[in-house]
A and B are shown apart, each in its own frame.
Chain A
């Protein structure tokens, strides 16, 4: 790509106790100032990856480079990488100011008291919590504690900031507020950030790039738009949002369009990169699926069904539709009005350019997990 990466993960692998392959040969280059989010289901190895970056656990194999320098086995206190913990982990016996200045106090480099005071004040202003310097962590709310945690990790102006689900302990409203604030602070300081969450919405709103992790490996790396609208696997498609999926086979290919035959009928898609007879899945996001009253005209890419559930979610209305051909479908409409009520017969259709074709079945992932896999893809 363009510049040399700020942080590189090269074939990074962690096997716990010689059996649990928590992280499996992951590759990632992160640019200076970039906000990268690791997202994935519980136990997929996000924390393990982050903890290797912070130096709390040694990789089984592979390496980590920072500005081209190998830091794989550098102890955590020699890394210039700040970290914010999910459990916040403020020092309970120290005031807010002492927490923030802890890094300066233990540093080899000596800071004068006025430097320390200035930095504490600056950090408190950054997280918009002046006047709290003399309080103890237990005298702060959860959200305030998390801000101080952030301030503490930024006080030494680290090159890289790691955040392991820092917002998951907060309630919905506070979390959203902290999301915006965190993004703002990150941009203001331009610090390279690796953020971990299992909340796809959080990942979508905050990141420059998203890494979707599954079972120890990276399924896909891309911008929020790419991973949402152009997922490379059904796992990514499912994980990044609600989806309507149709499994089928490519039966015709043309210069502009292909035809995919599924159990639900034939669909025309604008993706021509697949050979005929290839097994694929068609993904249509709920907001790309349109709905109308039933009509006799048989247009392309149309299904019929009955509305079973209507969810009013404020700005969008979500319809669950039971279709004879395709099972349950989800349609989301942002026009504001209510297009149908429960029990209505409707017609559902989509534009060939709005769907995404995903290869299926997913090529077996080349892992030699010593734990026997339950599924079909068992190697050997």
Chain B
């Protein structure tokens, strides 16, 4: 309700000192006093060197003028931003990025929910472990190989079309190796495991006795899911939505390999600007836009999920009542 208080800087810094103090408490010995700060200091230093400084440099680059040779020099110009707003084509790329991400998110969450529910309620622990392993295993295969696999299946003369044609369900191929559908399929394939695992965690935390109670009170299976399981796993759904959407905005390989130019997302365009057009500053501008977008949706997610508060993701606090 009061988002500003939730992710306020004061809170973060006060937490950091508190962790430091805790180390001090454990080791009053002055030689060890600094150990806590060292332990925190290493990742902080790594983040500053490899994340914060490059990000700031990237931001600075957006203002650097281009040289005739195609490279850039230190200086100040707003021409790259002007280009962004002058040319409608980048708005379209932005829209494509958001649309693909949104469609992917909706499909992943809608498909992922029943799978996650089923997974959470499988009785045999061995079967459950096997299924979870299978889902995680899909993430081990590099996305490039997966993209080519999807091409093989969806190509005009691919497996899917041949099968449908053989059974005379269609008269001409309905998919091709690249385009909107392959792109969506590729992205959903990539992000579905994230959706399933996020939702799974939250459903697994719901006491199954609640579902029995619901059934006992006369509710059908569907009513039970609608009125008990769904409301109690809403944090999981919100978490999965946020996660998949933020990941999908940054999709690069799948739209590039499986998309036609009309499915090219901002990351694809950024690469193209930097590697082919040799326009690093404009690539930086687009990167800044993408970063801003990601931060914007991340903040929305933080607000929806209350991540900034002391509450954790998942539904443990309210979903679990089987304490006895």
A-side residues, CB < 8 A to B, are: 54-56, 75-77, 81-83, 85-93, 102-103, 105-107, 137-138, 152-153, 156, 168-169
Contact = CB atoms under 8 A, between A and B. Distances in A.
Given A92-B321, A106-B223, A153 B212 contact: no
Given A77-B218, A106-B219, A89 B213 contact: yes
B324 interface: yes
A152 B232 CA distance: 19
B216 A83 contact: yes
Nearest to A75: B215
21 contacts: A54-B216, A56-B212, A77-B218, A82-B217, A87-B207, A87-B209, A87-B323, A87-B324, A89-B207, A89-B213, A89-B322, A91-B228, A92-B318, A103-B218, A103-B219, A106-B218, A106-B227, A137-B321, A138-B318, A156-B217, A169-B324
B261 interface: no
Contacts of A103: 217-219
Contacts of B207: 87, 89
A76 B210 contact: no
Contacts of B324: 86-87, 168-169
A18 to B, nearest CB: 13
B contact face: mostly helix, strand, loop, or mixed: helix
A141 B11 CA distance: 33
Name the interface size band of chain B.
20 to 34
A343 to B, nearest CB: 44
Nearest to B216: A83
B321 A77 contact: no
A77 B217 CA distance: 6
Contacts of A156: 217-218
B227 A89 contact: no
Interface string B221-241: 001000110011000000000
A375 B42 CA distance: 64
Nearest to B220: A77
Contact of A77 (B219, B228, B231): B219
Contacts of A89: 207, 209-210, 212-213, 321-322
Contacts of A76: 212, 215-216
A102 B215 CA distance: 11
Nearest to A170: B324
A82 B216 contact: yes
Contacts of A137: 321
A169 B323 CA distance: 10
Nearest to B210: A89
A87 B322 contact: yes
Given A88-B321, A92-B232, A92-B319, A83 B218 contact: no
Contacts of B223: 106
A153 B214 CA distance: 10
Nearest to A107: B218
A168 B324 CA distance: 9
A79 to B, nearest CB: 8
B216 A102 contact: no
A83 B213 contact: yes
B216 A81 contact: yes
A102 B319 contact: no
A86 B207 CA distance: 12
A91 B215 contact: no
Nearest to B211: A89
A153 B217 contact: yes
A93 B210 CA distance: 11
Interface in B120-144: none
B124 to A, nearest CB: 9
Given A83-B212, A85-B213, 8 more contacts: A56-B212, A87-B322, A89-B322, A90-B213, A93-B232, A102-B214, A106-B223, A156-B217
B117 to A, nearest CB: 17
B318 A93 contact: yes
A155 to B, nearest CB: 8
A88 B218 CA distance: 17
B115 to A, nearest CB: 23
Contacts of A106: 214, 217-220, 223, 227
A90 B223 CA distance: 16
Contact of B216 (A87, A107, A153): A153
Nearest to B320: A92
B210 A91 contact: yes
Nearest to B231: A93
A271 B215 CA distance: 51
Contacts of B220: 77, 106
Q: Tell which of A55, A56, A91, A103 has the most Cβ of chain B within 10 Å.
A: A91
Nearest to A136: B318
A168 B318 CA distance: 22
Contacts of B228: 91
Contacts of B209: 85, 87, 89
A83 B215 CA distance: 10
Contacts of A87: 207, 209, 321-324
Q: Tell which of B210, B216, B219, B322 has the most Cβ of chain A within 10 Å.
A: B216
Contacts of B321: 87-90, 92, 137
B123 to A, nearest CB: 10
